[in-house]
Amino acid sequence: MYSLSSAIDAFPDVKVLIIGDLMLDRFTYGKIERISPEAPVPIFKVVSQKEMPGGAGNVATNLRALGCRVSYVGLVGNDAEGSTLVNLLKGSGVRTHLVRPENFPTIVKNRLIAGSNHISRVDREGTVPDLSENLPFFLRAFRRLAKQADIVLLSDYGKGLFTADNTPQLIEICRELGKRVIVDPKGTDYSKYTGATLVKPNLKEFTEVAGRGLFDPKAPDFHERLRIAATELIDRYHIGNLLITLGEHGMALVSAEEPTRVRQIPTRAKEVFDVSGAGDTSLATLGAALACNAPLPQAMHLANLASGIVVGKVGTATVSADELRDALRADDRGSVSSRSPERKIMSLPQAENFIAELRRKGKIIGFTNGVFDCCHMGHLSSLLEASKTCDALVVAVNSDASVRRLKGEGRPLQDEATRSLLLASLEYVSCVIIFEEDTPMEVVKALRPDVLAKEGYTIDRWPEAQYARQYGAKIVTLQRIGNYSTTNMIDRIR
């Protein structure tokens, strides 16, 4: 089973190539204390200013903040702002391969901010020059760098870099080299993205390209309407996946491999201060996770967490690998450890849904079972050791009827409700299931845990482990500590 924490650890080994529209994001912070006597407008008094790469440059700096190795191909004006951008990118460790045409002003977006409120945005941009002369340079540099990359990201801000001529050539180069290409699109002409591995519009952009009425995430038919429109685009342009970001409603995936299904995950933002660059952070994290071979649903989850972090910051911001690790741990605690003991006790169908959600987050599922009639140090030690083999531990408990069949009419001493609640009260137990059969085979077949761990059983005496080994589960025989057993405890009490 894939672990997202392992993916974050692997980010420093990831090589990402970005091509996209580059711009300078300028944040001018100040105060508003009075209204102008010249016109009924507030007077903005400048206090400080901050500059950072924007557009595709923000994708690049987000990838560097995560620890990835990043190369960038693009163009920037041959002016002071362009030089600032180049220095900012190089200073963050991005390898740049740039064309700097004359008479092309670097795109600048200047945001005026008072406190944490955006007052206005002042943009400067010109028309992208004819790239036909520079196209051979672009394609040569792109092919050379794509060969070395683990994944390629196209960040289209609609500023003229991606044309109907050059974009298909870039994607075709990726296909020839066997490289996945992820596109953050712009505009309604998706023909230029034909053959992309994944295209990631926001809901407004998706609505425009789908040519339909507004898609309301709260509507009961939202998934079906989204699926129909997405599969039409997937089929028309041979796109592998459409990932639609939904703002406060998270993100939704429709895949060519599963055209009848919509996967939607909720947003993770706690408090929103600024959405500037959130899409760039999402693209960067998604690309980094996929480059580490994370399954797409789990890469979505990581990208969603990163977006939730960055919108809690003011200005175009990045997310570090440590911040992402902390968010992953907090999310785990929120979904598992913070559950009340009563909520950890589940029926098998409830457990299947719970485990499916954990798997979407890249969690390794462990499993053990027993009667647990009188919890003692032997039980606690076994459960603790079992929990170390996985991210979430499922404990299957024999029902009262099952215990009587196995151990006689005098057992159990404690009923199944008590035994289950005691186990569920342990922080390192994620889920407790009561089973009626003599063995937990049906539970194992339904949940297909990644690790089976049990004290004292070798695999030849352990049918569930024999079954689980066939589908690739890890089998762990735990060591018994001391002479602890419920039977011995009962004999001593007597």
CATH number at residue 247: 3.40.1190.20
306 and 429 in one domain? no
Cα distance between the two ends of the chain = 46
301 and 263 in one domain? yes
349 and 331 in one domain? no
349 and 287 in one domain? no
Instruction: Determine phi and psi for 431, rounding to 5 degrees.
Output: -155, 140
Is-above-0.75 flag for pTM? no
**CATH number of domain containing 445:** 3.40.50.620
With contact defined as beta carbons under 8 Å apart, do 234 and 254 qualify? yes
Q: Which pair of structure tokens corresponds to residue 115?
A: 């406190």
Domain final position from 335, 351, 371: 335
* Number of separate domains in the chain: 2
Q: Which pair of structure tokens corresponds to residue 109?
A: 């977006």
294 and 221 in one domain? yes
- Active site residue: 25, 150, 280, 373, which one? 280
Look at residue 493 in the predicted model and tell me its pLDDT: 58
Collapsing DSSP states into helix, strand and coil, what is residue 68?
A: coil
430 and 281 in one domain? no
330 and 346 in one domain? no
Look at residue 273 in the predicted model and tell me its pLDDT: 43
Range of the domain at 388: 339-493
Amino acid code (one letter) for 296: L
343 and 255 in one domain? no
163 and 302 in one domain? yes
Domain final position from 335, 365, 388: 335
Helix, strand, coil abundance in the chain, percent, nearest 5: 40, 25, 35
326 and 345 in one domain? no
Look at residue 485 in the predicted model and tell me its pLDDT: 58
Look at residue 486 in the predicted model and tell me its pLDDT: 55
Collapsing DSSP states into helix, strand and coil, what is residue 294?
A: coil
Q: Is 280 a catalytic residue?
A: yes
With contact defined as beta carbons under 8 Å apart, do 371 and 398 qualify? yes
Domain final position from 335, 364, 393: 335
443 and 301 in one domain? no
386 and 318 in one domain? no
pLDDT in tens, the chain (494 residues): 467 788 899 999 999 999 999 999 999 999 999 999 999 999 999 999 999 999 999 999 999 999 999 999 988 999 999 999 999 999 999 999 988 888 889 999 999 999 878 899 999 988 787 777 778 878 888 999 999 999 999 999 999 889 998 999 999 999 999 999 999 999 999 999 999 999 999 999 999 999 877 788 888 888 899 999 999 999 999 999 999 998 878 889 999 998 988 888 876 544 444 445 678 889 999 999 999 998 888 898 889 888 878 776 655 578 888 888 887 777 665 555 456 788 899 999 889 988 887 887 667 899 999 888 877 677 788 888 888 888 889 999 999 999 999 888 878 888 899 999 999 998 889 999 999 999 999 999 999 999 999 887 778 889 999 999 998 889 998 876 656 555 565 556 56
